[in-house]
């Protein structure tokens, strides 16, 4: 299995009838501002450097963002907050991401959502998240990052499930960092977590409900990526 094979398999997925119906309806009806655009309308694969040491986990594609452009955090307000921060930190080649053909290059960083299809009201249900979890597990296994950055509580809880971390051991909080170890998660002979000095770093999601209310500021988000660089050493 390679990332290319995984992505090719992923974009044909139709496991969740509610999400399939929604993503395709949005792609047909379109938003007026994008009436001349060809919407992606399929599951959104991960994006970035296949040799990355940093893996960023988001929530789900936006109906008129990634569901339109076909690339994570591309063409919506969350991306308008996310990519400038990566650019300032040296992980992105440019501060703006408008389409999957805009020559954006990520260095030492890969990003993927918990749920690959745009959900109504940006709220995937538990079964839909569970259906997508194997894709995230496979990407993590292939990339073997040193630092996992989770954007929001749902992404945080997804990583805890994947690595069987006791919920009582780690709590979600902005800028909270946790080191993976045999004491707090399940390790086996095939797991990249057998390696040392691997970290989970939490952040609020760069959605407008956080950025426009001041819950997540530019300064707070900049500090997250500075902390990532410190954890990378």
Q: Look at 208 and 162; give whichever has higher pLDDT.
A: 208
pLDDT value of residue 182: 67
Is the pLDDT at 105 greater than 60, yes or no? yes
Is the pLDDT at 144 greater than 50, yes or no? yes
> Residue 194 — pLDDT band, cuts 50, 70, 90?
very low
Is the pLDDT at 168 greater than 80, yes or no? no
Q: Which of 64-68, 137-141, 200-204 has the lowest mean pLDDT?
A: 137-141
User: Percent of the chain at pLDDT above 90?
Assistant: 85
CA distance 108 to 127: 32
Q: Give residue-wise pLDDT tens across range 11-43.
A: 999 999 999 999 999 999 999 999 999 999 999
Is the pLDDT at 109 greater than 70, yes or no? yes
User: Percent of the chain at pLDDT above 70?
Assistant: 93
pLDDT value of residue 197: 67
CA distance 6 to 112: 13
pLDDT value of residue 166: 72
pTM of structure? 0.94
Range of the domain at 226: 3-232
What's the number of domains the chain is made of? 1
Question: The domain spanning residue 39 has which CATH number?
Answer: 3.40.470.10
Is the pLDDT at 190 greater than 70, yes or no? no
């Amino acid at each position: 299995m390679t990332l290319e094979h995984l992505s090719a398999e992923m974009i044909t997925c139709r496991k969740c009838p509610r999400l399939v119906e929604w993503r395709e309806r949005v792609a047909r009806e379109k938003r007026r501002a994008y009436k001349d655009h060809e919407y992606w309308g399929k599951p959104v694969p991960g994006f970035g450097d296949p040799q990355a040491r940093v893996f960023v986990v988001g929530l789900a594609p936006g109906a008129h963002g990634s569901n339109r452009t076909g690339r994570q955090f591309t063409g919506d307000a969350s991306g308008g907050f996310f990519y400038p921060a990566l650019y300032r930190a040296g992980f992105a080649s440019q501060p703006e991401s408008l389409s999957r053909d805009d020559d954006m290059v990520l260095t030492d960083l890969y990003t993927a959502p918990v749920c690959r299809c745009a959900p109504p009201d940006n709220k995937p249900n538990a079964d839909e998240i569970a259906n997508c979890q194997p894709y995230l597990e496979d990407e993590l296994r292939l990339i073997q990052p040193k630092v996992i950055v989770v954007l929001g509580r749902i992404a945080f809880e997804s990583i805890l499930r994947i690595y069987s971390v006791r919920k009582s051991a780690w709590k979600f909080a902005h800028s909270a960092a946790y080191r993976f170890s045999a004491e707090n998660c399940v390790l086996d002979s095939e797991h990249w977590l057998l390696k040392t000095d691997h970290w989970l770093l939490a952040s609020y999601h760069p959605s407008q409900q956080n950025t426009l209310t001041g819950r997540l500021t530019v300064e707070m988000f900049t500090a997250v990526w500075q902390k990532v660089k410190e954890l990378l050493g």
